[in-house]
Structure 1
Amino acid sequence: MNNPISVSTLNVQIKSLLETTFIQVYVEGEISNLTYHNSGHIYFSIKDESSTLSCVMFKGNTKYLKFQLENGQKVVINGNITVYAPRGNYQLLCNKIEPSGQGALAFAFEQLKNKLEAKGYFDGNYKQPLPKYPKKIVLVTSATGAAIEDMKKVANHRWPLVEFILIPTLVQGEGAASDISNSIKFADSLACDIMIVGRGGGSIEDLWAFNEEIVANAIYEAKTPIISAVGHEVDYLISDFVADIRAATPSNAIEIALPDINEHRIYLDSLVNEYNNRLKNILFSKEQELSNMKRLMEQNSIDTKFNYIQTEINLLKSSFKTDLSQKILSSSNELNLLHNTFKNSYSSFLVKTQNQIDLLKTNFELNHPDKKDKKGFVQISKDNKIISLEDLNIGDEIKLQTPKYIGTCILNKVEKQSDLSLQ
């Protein structure tokens, strides 16, 4: 009869057998009992319709995991069988995990995209507009890549007035996501007008740093308007959805951020032409107004009125003379009568017309500036107010004023004209 062996010995033999036999296995199953431990290790089980297998992925391998594990997820695991001898439990030690039927990167992209969309990271209400005329733009990209040279060329052509600040950043490989995040935070503290985050084209693995949640968080929390310019036109990354503006390429980001100086030159030329045309129209309109006013003043001048009245007088004279001649030829009696009538009428008309002319002439002379100052006439004022003579009292101090002189006197006597005529 064989001698019995200890439990430990048996577990060690089983461990040796399993670990040397199942060195590399590929297993497909559904995740359950998922636990993310504080140590960084991941514990879970995979199962099918009939069986369950315990699994563990240690911290050293989790950094290569591109997506978030979830209960109910169907995955394919590459690993090896290991036995925990003290308990006699065996489990699958996971080296690599891929989503079943789908690439890990594509699955991770959709997973993070859905997560951030649910958190409102893509909401248009939180996106900031770009300033129309930026003075300073900060670039978060590689200092050695071709993208920076392309952006400088486009900027010199479109708007050479802008100032660029480059934040040299690791844009691919291990640690790139963390470096991009830190550069975004530093660039946001520089108080620039626009921030461009991006790099040139590459494979999905090369661009993957811009699909990391840490980068998405930095973009979302930044106060500076951000343009995401990663890869080529066909490349869509998480940074594109979170940023305020998505550019197809780094060069396109400069085209979006900067105005076109040639368009503004054309616009300024059009403004000059429009200004000149408007000025010409205004001047022409004012010239027409002045011409109309001059013509109107000429029509209403004193000379014009005098000429008009003189013309009427001449017409009347001619008319009377014609009538008189006809009546003289017809009858001497009628001639005398007409002569008297004409004489009386004509004299009356002349007197009336002459009175009108004299009145116009008198008004004209009275209102002529040189006739304002008449000898013997003064203006009476008291306490700097113009006053009539009949409103004064004996003893009032008054001023007699002409345009050139002022005389001050005391009123000694006031008499009405009627009182003087009675004496």
Structure 2
Amino acid sequence: MNSPISVSSLNAQIKSLLETTFIQVYVEGEVSNLTYHNSGHIYFSVKDKSSTISCVMFRGNAKYLKFQLEVGQKIVITGNLTVYAPRGNYQLLCNKIEPSGQGALALAFEQLKNKLEEKGYFNPEIKKQLPKYPKKIALVTSATGAAIEDMKKVASHRWPLVEFILVPALVQGEGAAFDISNSIKYADNLNCDIMIVGRGGGSIEDLWAFNEEIVANAIYEASTPIISAVGHEVDYLISDFVSDVRAATPSNAVEIALPDINEHRIYLDSLANEYNNKIKTIFYNKEQDVFNLKRLFEQNSIESKFNFITSEIKFLRSSFDNDISQKLIKANNDLDLLKRTFQNNSDQVLTQAQNQITLLKNSFELNHPDKKDKKGFVQITKDNKIISLENLSTNDVISLQTPKYIAMCTINEVKKQ
């Protein structure tokens, strides 16, 4: 009879057997009992219709997991079996996890996109308008990439008045998302009119930093209008949805941000032509007005009327010479009569006026103050005003005046005769 072994020995044998037998396994199942631990480890189970197995993904591998595990999600696990001897439990140690039926990056993209959409990051109403004529643009991109040169080239042809400020950032690899986020925050404090965040084309893995939530948060919180310009036309990233404007490429971002100087030149030429045409039209209309006024003036001028009358007179003379002569003679006679009558009336008016002047002159001379100096006659004034004797009262102070003398008096008594 075999001697018994200890539980620890049995578990140790099982551990050795399982871990050496199932070195690498591929398991497909549905996630359940999911726990994201504060340590960074992920604990969960995968199950099918009949069985369940415990799983763990330690922090070292979990940090490379691009998508978020969810209960009920179907996944494919690459890993190996391990046994926890103290409790006799075995579990699947996950080295890599992929969503079943689709790529991990695609699932991670959709998960973050849905999350940010629910938070309102994509709301069109919060998108900021780009200024029409930016003076300064911040470029958050790689300092050594081809994108920066492409953008500078487009700007030099399109609108050379703009100033670019390069804010260098890692655009791929580990730590790129963190660096892009910090660069966006730094550029947001440079008082630029627009910020372009992007890089040239590459694989989905190369562009993945722009799909990270930390970059989305930095774009969302920036006060500067941001254009996302990552990859090529077919590449859509989270930064494209969060930013204020999405550009197909970095070069296209510059085309969107800057006005076209050639279009403005054409527009200025059209304005100049339109202005010249309007000026010519105005001058032509004014010339026509002057011409019409001149013609109207000539038609209604005294000279024109005189010529018309002269022609009429000539016609009448040729037709009715005798009658016209008689009328002219009568008109001359009437004119002579009017002259004589006017002269006579003028003489009469002048004579009457002369007589009136003479009469006034004689009256003035007769009433001159110097000729009123008669014995016993004076002028009575009170307070420098002429006053009648009957208007005086007792104790009134008056002056008696002749043309040569003034006597100051006080009234003692006034009697009526």
How many Å separate the matches in 1 of 2:18 and 2:306? 136
How many Å separate the matches in 2 of 1:15 and 1:68? 31
How many Å separate the matches in 1 of 2:299 and 2:103? 97
- The equivalent residue for 1:321 is 321
Cα deviation code 1:335-360 (max 9, x no counterpart): xxxxxxx84796259859x99xxxxx
Offset at 1:283? 1.4
How many Å separate the matches in 2 of 1:97 and 1:289? 89
Offset at 1:104? 1.3
- The equivalent residue for 1:250 is 250
Q: Against the structure 1 CA distance between its residues 320 and 16, is the aligned structure 2 distance closer, same or farther, given a 3 Å change threshold?
A: same
The DSSP-based 3-state class of the residue aligned with 1:206 is: coil
How many Å separate the matches in 2 of 1:344 and 1:274? 65
The DSSP-based 3-state class of the residue aligned with 2:268 is: helix
The DSSP-based 3-state class of the residue aligned with 2:207 is: helix
Cα deviation code 1:311-339 (max 9, x no counterpart): 44444444432569xxxxxxxxxxxxxxx
Q: Against the structure 1 CA distance between its residues 323 and 141, is the aligned structure 2 distance closer, same or farther, given a 3 Å change threshold?
A: same
- The equivalent residue for 2:38 is 38
Offset at 1:130? 2.1
The one-letter code sitting in structure 1 at the alignment partner of 2:108 is A
Offset at 1:310? 4.5
Cα deviation code 1:133-186 (max 9, x no counterpart): 211111111001111111111111111111001110000000111111111122
How many Å separate the matches in 1 of 2:140 and 2:193? 14
How many Å separate the matches in 1 of 2:97 and 2:333? 128
Q: Against the structure 1 CA distance between its residues 310 and 34, is the aligned structure 2 distance closer, same or farther, given a 3 Å change threshold?
A: same
The DSSP-based 3-state class of the residue aligned with 1:287 is: helix
- The equivalent residue for 1:175 is 175
- The equivalent residue for 2:83 is 83
Aligned length in residues: 337
How many Å separate the matches in 1 of 2:296 and 2:326? 38
Q: Does 1:222 align with 2:222?
A: yes
Offset at 1:210? 1.2
How many Å separate the matches in 2 of 1:350 and 1:210? 116
TM-score normalised to structure 2 length: 0.74
How many Å separate the matches in 1 of 2:180 and 2:333? 108
Q: Does 1:231 align with 2:214?
A: no
How many Å separate the matches in 2 of 1:207 and 1:349? 115
How many Å separate the matches in 2 of 1:246 and 1:114? 18
The one-letter code sitting in structure 2 at the alignment partner of 1:242 is V
Q: Does 1:125 align with 2:125?
A: yes
Offset at 1:16? 3.1
How many Å separate the matches in 1 of 2:177 and 2:79? 27
The one-letter code sitting in structure 2 at the alignment partner of 1:230 is V
Cα deviation code 1:59-103 (max 9, x no counterpart): 111111011100111101111222223322221111110011222
Q: Against the structure 1 CA distance between its residues 94 and 350, is the aligned structure 2 distance closer, same or farther, given a 3 Å change threshold?
A: farther
Q: Does 1:192 align with 2:175?
A: no
Offset at 1:308? 4.1
Over aligned residue pairs, what C-alpha RMSD do you find?
2.6
2:330 is aligned, of 347, 350, 353, to: 347
The DSSP-based 3-state class of the residue aligned with 2:151 is: helix
- The equivalent residue for 2:212 is 212
How many Å separate the matches in 2 of 1:160 and 1:349? 91
- The equivalent residue for 1:69 is 69
- The equivalent residue for 2:262 is 262
- The equivalent residue for 1:14 is 14
Pair member with larger Rg = 2
How many percent identity over aligned positions? Answer: 80
Q: Against the structure 1 CA distance between its residues 303 and 344, is the aligned structure 2 distance closer, same or farther, given a 3 Å change threshold?
A: closer
The one-letter code sitting in structure 1 at the alignment partner of 2:18 is L
How many Å separate the matches in 1 of 2:327 and 2:194? 101
The DSSP-based 3-state class of the residue aligned with 1:278 is: helix
- The equivalent residue for 2:114 is 114
Offset at 1:7? 3.5
The one-letter code sitting in structure 1 at the alignment partner of 2:83 is V
The one-letter code sitting in structure 2 at the alignment partner of 1:85 is A
TM-score normalised to structure 1 length: 0.73
The one-letter code sitting in structure 2 at the alignment partner of 1:80 is N
The one-letter code sitting in structure 2 at the alignment partner of 1:13 is Q
- Which has the higher mean CA deviation after the structures are superposed, 121-130 or 160-169? 121-130
How many Å separate the matches in 1 of 2:185 and 2:34? 34
User: Which structure 2 residue ranges, 5 or more long, are not aligned?
Assistant: 339-417
How many Å separate the matches in 2 of 1:297 and 1:30? 103
Offset at 1:237? 1.8
How many Å separate the matches in 1 of 2:332 and 2:101? 123
Cα deviation code 1:21-43 (max 9, x no counterpart): 32222111100111112221111
Offset at 1:306? 4.3
- The equivalent residue for 1:161 is 161
The DSSP-based 3-state class of the residue aligned with 1:69 is: coil
How many Å separate the matches in 1 of 2:326 and 2:250? 108
Q: Against the structure 1 CA distance between its residues 288 and 256, is the aligned structure 2 distance closer, same or farther, given a 3 Å change threshold?
A: same
How many Å separate the matches in 1 of 2:322 and 2:330? 17
The DSSP-based 3-state class of the residue aligned with 1:80 is: strand
The one-letter code sitting in structure 1 at the alignment partner of 2:104 is A
